[in-house]
Amino acid sequence: MGSLMGDFEEELQEVRDTFNSGKTREISWRKSQLQAILSLLKERESDIFKALNQDLGKHHVEAFRDEIGTVAKSAKYALGNLNKWTASKRVKLPLAAFPSRAKLVHEPLGVVLILSSWNFPFGLSFEPIIGAIAAGNTIILKPSELAPACSSVLVKTIHDYLDNSAIKVVEGGASVGEKLLQHNFDKIFFTGGGRVAQIVMAAAAKNLTPVTLELGGKCPAVVDFISSTWDRKIAMKRIIWGKFGACGGQACIGIDYILTQKKFAPTLVELLKKYIKKSFGDNPMESNSIAKIINNKHFSRLKGLLDEPLVKSSIVFGGSSNEEKLFIEPTILLDPPLDSAIMTEEIFGPLLPIITLENIEDSVEFIRARAKPLSVYGFTNNEKLQKRMISETSSGSITFNDAIIQYVVDTLPFGGVGGSGFGRYHGKYSFENFSHQKAVMLRGYLIDFGFRYPPWNNKKLQL
Ligand code: NAD
């Protein structure tokens, strides 16, 4: 890999020079770039819709909701709060520090590398870009090669709308990512899987570069039938959406599997079937409301999960697929073996295992016994269970009576814990993610204490 060091040197030097010029520190520059993102989203909306349909089969309404609308909301939020975020904050000092003043100043980190994923190619690229711009950095973005139409629209639109001396897009796959990682960045923001995250961290360690890792995992949804006050109709719609409705189940915070009470499992299966049909019709393959599987490799991976004999025999709904259309039917499985791949690996597709428990409280132990998820969901109004889930399980976020929605709340941090990643972003957390909070202290000469200074003698201890 050593000889590849020359790659991207020019691009990096240019964004480094731009950063050093101080241009991106100007609040007016940051605002102009955030405004430009809004214009890009508005004026190039149809290109974005077309690319998302081509790569992922996303309907334009889903594309608007999950990518254009969500990113525009975040850009507006950053614009509206930028003055407040960038203002230095006075800090109180102890009397012993008199006479002094102190403040916190947010300074940009420098040149940041953003490596993004394919399932929300615009959202997962622009969301960190917004934070990096708001904080005054320059940026190299490498989108995923698995959504090539979207990657190409990102290149063209970012070229046309944003300041290219400060923000550049590099296209390519693993080898391009590896070449980029040989360079010295001031921050690496990575969205993807755990395997590549280890490569990213190892490369970052060489330069002691701070990293944020936005990873995945298995997000459980606890569906409590004994909690009497829930609205089943709304709950089912939200579960169906949380599993199949965002990129066809290829979402890091999508519901991976359900935990529910054994005696209510048949009722749950019937309800889920009913709402799958309501959402995607009797023949979901003809539906334009469910995204396709990204490529043949992921299609075969998902088929492989289903084809394990004991898993196959646990299918209670769906199970059909069409490789040519990269389509897998929304599928429900009842109690597949817990040691099967479908229950030990992140599913990332439209397969929904239901695991039954005698007692819903056992879900707490079930979740605790496994890797820390990016999100935990609880469909319950049982306050005791809610409290136990909050305090006795660990996850990036926990949401009750809904799924995925926490992603769009600017005032909540988004990120994982343990194997689901570390570092957080969105709203002010994005600004902070790409900033260094510098402690600034201004001392006066009015009072001075001699015991601080050598030469040492015992008298100085008595003061
Ligand atoms: P991935 O790890 O394969 O790829 C992520 C990015 O890294 C891509 O840009 C890819 O080209 C690049 N890459 C791949 N190999 C590389 C290498 N050797 N060196 C440098 N860069 C390399 O992940 P993916 O398939 O794009 O995404 C799926 C995973 O991402 C899932 O686990 C999912 O849960 C997770 N994810 C997390 C979030 C989140 O916000 N936490 C969002 C979406 C996806």
Output the residue whose Cα is nearest ligand 1's atom 18. 174
Q: Which of 223-227, 304-308, 319-323, 431-435 is the least confident region?
A: 223-227
Output the residue whose Cα is nearest ligand 1's atom 21. 177
Question: What atom of ligand 1 comes closest to residue 374's alpha carbon?
Answer: 41
C-alpha distance from residue 91 to each of 74, 86, 382 (Å): 29, 15, 42
Ligand 1 centroid vs 1 CA: distance in angstroms? 21
Q: What is the pTM of this model?
A: 0.96
So what's the pLDDT on residue 230?
81
CB atoms within 10 A of CB 140: 21
Question: What atom of ligand 1 comes closest to residue 217's alpha carbon?
Answer: 34
CA neighbor of 354 nearest in space, from 233, 191, 229, 220: 220
Query: Exposed, middle or buried: residue 210 (CB in 10 Å: 0-12, 13-18, 19+)?
Result: middle
Q: Which of 127, 214, 329, 432 is catalytic?
A: 214
The residues, ordered by sequence, that sit 6+ positions from 296 with a Cβ below 8 Å of its Cβ are 323, 326
Ligand 1 centroid vs 86 CA: distance in angstroms? 31
Binding-site residues, ligand 1, Cβ < 6 A: 115-119, 124, 142, 144-145, 173-174, 177-178, 181, 191-193, 196, 199, 214-216, 252, 346, 348, 374, 421
Q: Respond yes or no: is residue 346 known to be catalytic.
A: no
Question: What atom of ligand 1 comes closest to residue 420's alpha carbon?
Answer: 41
Cα angle value 422/164/132 (rounded, 5°): 25
Rounded average pLDDT over 275-284: 96
So what's the pLDDT on residue 96?
85
For a mutational test of ligand 1's pocket, the pick from 4, 7, 56, 117, i.e. the residue with the most ligand atoms closer than 8 A to its C-beta, is 117
So what's the pLDDT on residue 385?
97
Residue 210's beta-bridge partner residues? none
| Concatenated DSSP letters of 110-134 | SEEEEE--SSSTTHHHHHHHHHHHH
CB atoms within 10 A of CB 373: 28
Question: What atom of ligand 1 comes closest to residue 117's alpha carbon?
Answer: 26
Residue 146 binned pLDDT confidence (cut-offs 50, 70, 90):
very high
The dihedral through the CA atoms of 409, 413, 56, 147 has a sign that is positive
Rounded average pLDDT over 296-310: 98
133, 139 in Cβ contact below 8 A? yes
Cα angle value 269/223/229 (rounded, 5°): 110
Q: Which of 133-142, 229-238, 270-279, 324-333 is the least confident region?
A: 229-238
Q: Respond yes or no: is residue 214 known to be catalytic.
A: yes
